Amino acid sequence: MHSQLTLTILIYALTLPRPNLGARWAVLVAGSSGWWNYRHQADVSHAQKILLKNGIPSDHIITMMYDDVAYNRQNPFPGKLFNDYTHTDVYEGITIDYRREEVTPKNFLGVLLGDEELVLKGKKVLRSGPEDNVFIFFTDHGSEHLIAFPHGELYADTLIETLNKMHSQNRYHNMVIYLEACYSGSMFEGLLDKSIQIHALTAANAHESSYATFCNDRKISACLADEFSYQWMNVSVQEDLERWTLNEEFRTVKKKVQHSHVTKYGDQSLDEKHLADFIGSSSAGTRGDLFMKPRHYVPALDAVFVPIHRKMIGAETTAAIRLAELEFSLRIQRMKLVQDTFKYIEEASKTLKGGQILKPHQRTKMALVKCFHTIHETFTQRCFHTSTTPEVIPYLSRFTSMCENGLNPEDIVEIIREICS
């Protein structure tokens, strides 16, 4: 009798609605521009649709997107974006709060910190407080210790400092971050405080590429989705989010993403929190939405060649063929230029200060990231911008190696200034 009563009480307790700890806020960011980056804007558009269906108020969703794809001249479906081969439009009806030149690291950080200057300009910012939960979804390119925006980069040290500031200012109760980018684990590994109520998932670990998917559409010459982004949304709409925990989400998405290592960082005490507390309840309308099994994958950086390849095989005139071949040739030449630039920088760094190589010394993880930040900032100003020349991304880890070897970042900066003068 006693056991039956206990079981009855337990079942009753599980069916009770969980207490509302506060409001739910979301920040969605597609950090790229250009037709070949179609998938990032489709990912964010789709995510906004899901959050709205899940009952997150539109005035609590802040979206940053360059918005140059839906009406791009290369889009055979003007005003529409698709996230898979079903060609279900995810663009119609979405709200974009920051577009074009407004999609910057500065504005993103301003949104997180509730910057009053943005408010005075009529822009939306987080108005979250100590009882509110915050969900952040970012998708774009990345390298070691940075994620890219159309204009500028956001470095890991700057992001971590901002998150710490949000915590000290009581700007959230709990926070979930989903980060889609190559090397995305490097934004948090050894950096994110495990005691500030932040649960972060990254599409890849600190040393690998993430992957694009649906890259062979019959009519659209671009990849339609990112593997991690598509899978977290797929899992989220299939489960009862009122009962589905963050850790269950992590384990399931990790299993479904086959081409990179989905990695978890942050506060493990959040593992048993429910996803509904961050992205709303699937009972509001998304549960059961149909998703396809992803296929036709390419490494994220190789997605740039998908439109070029489609132009080459679809060209019907000699002029069109030559134009596509020229575009391909220019990409290869740029890759060679990037490769040579890093070769010159590395050779010069081996004999710093009259041939005396500085002895390696131990730097903290944050000190290494700040060293990288100093070097890369000058590299971006003088040599190549990550967003316009993504070919640099696989090489940027060499700057980290220089920092690990104890080289003075100011010396590397001088070398870069000479080589990229």
The enclosing domain of 332 has a CATH number of 1.10.132
Residue among 204, 206, 217, 110 at smallest CA distance from 166: 110
Residue among 213, 145, 218 at smallest CA distance from 182: 145
Task: Tell me: do 186 and 59 sit in the same domain.
Answer: yes
Task: Tell me: do 378 and 403 sit in the same domain.
Answer: yes
pLDDT digits (tens, 9 = 90+) for 69-80: 999 999 999 999
More confident residue, 13 or 69: 69
pLDDT of residue 316: 67
- In angstroms, the CA 272 to CA 249 distance is 10
pLDDT of residue 63: 99
Choose one of 300, 333, 365: the last residue of a domain: 300
Letter string b/e over residues 348-384, b meaning 16 or more CB atoms within 10 A of that residue's CB: bbeebeeeeeeeeeeeeeeebbbbbbbbbbbbbeebb
Which range of residues forms the domain containing residue 268? 18-300
Task: Tell me: do 205 and 80 sit in the same domain.
Answer: yes
Count of residues for the chain? Answer: 421
Task: Tell me: do 259 and 216 sit in the same domain.
Answer: yes
Choose one of 242, 275, 300: the last residue of a domain: 300
Q: Which of 24-33, 278-287, 343-352, 375-384 has the lowest mean pLDDT?
A: 278-287
pLDDT of residue 10: 41
pLDDT at 301 over 70: yes
Q: Is residue 200 part of a domain?
A: yes
pLDDT digits (tens, 9 = 90+) for 25-66: 999 999 999 999 999 999 999 999 999 999 999 999 999 999
Task: Tell me: do 270 and 322 sit in the same domain.
Answer: no
- In angstroms, the CA 238 to CA 245 distance is 13
pLDDT of residue 282: 66
pLDDT of residue 288: 53
> Mean of the pLDDT values across residues 174-190?
97
Q: Is residue 236 part of a domain?
A: yes
Q: Is residue 306 part of a domain?
A: no
Task: Tell me: do 155 and 77 sit in the same domain.
Answer: yes
**Position 318 confidence tier, pLDDT thresholds 50, 70, 90:** confident
**Position 278 confidence tier, pLDDT thresholds 50, 70, 90:** very high
Choose one of 300, 334, 369: the last residue of a domain: 300
Which of 161-170, 234-243, 395-404 has the largest mean confidence?
Answer: 161-170
- In angstroms, the CA 153 to CA 147 distance is 6
The enclosing domain of 51 has a CATH number of 3.40.50.1460
Which of 199-203, 378-382, 388-392 has the largest mean confidence?
Answer: 199-203
**Position 330 confidence tier, pLDDT thresholds 50, 70, 90:** confident
> Mean of the pLDDT values across residues 112-138?
97
Q: Is residue 328 part of a domain?
A: yes
pLDDT at 355 over 50: no
**Position 354 confidence tier, pLDDT thresholds 50, 70, 90:** very low
Task: Tell me: do 199 and 326 sit in the same domain.
Answer: no
Task: Tell me: do 284 and 366 sit in the same domain.
Answer: no
Q: Which of 2-16, 31-45, 168-182, 389-403 has the lowest mean pLDDT?
A: 2-16
- In angstroms, the CA 52 to CA 413 distance is 46
- In angstroms, the CA 359 to CA 24 distance is 50
> Mean of the pLDDT values across residues 118-132?
96
**pLDDT, mean over the chain:** 89
Structure tokens, 36: 């070949």
Number of structural domains, the chain? 2
Q: Which of 175-184, 195-204, 284-293 has the lowest mean pLDDT?
A: 284-293
pLDDT digits (tens, 9 = 90+) for 333-343: 888 999 999 99
Task: Tell me: do 285 and 331 sit in the same domain.
Answer: no
Task: Tell me: do 379 and 413 sit in the same domain.
Answer: yes
pLDDT digits (tens, 9 = 90+) for 17-31: 445 568 999 999 999
pLDDT digits (tens, 9 = 90+) for 229-240: 999 999 998 888
Residues in Cβ contact with 352 at an 8 Å cutoff, skipping those fewer than 6 apart: 358, 407, 408, 411, 415
More confident residue, 329 or 217: 217
Task: Tell me: do 153 and 209 sit in the same domain.
Answer: yes
Q: Which residues are catalytic?
A: 141, 182
Task: Tell me: do 321 and 281 sit in the same domain.
Answer: no
Burial of 73 (0-12, 13-18, 19+ CB in 10 A): exposed
The neighbour count for residue 96, using CB atoms within 10 Å, is: 22
More confident residue, 81 or 283: 81
Q: Is residue 307 part of a domain?
A: no
**Position 286 confidence tier, pLDDT thresholds 50, 70, 90:** low
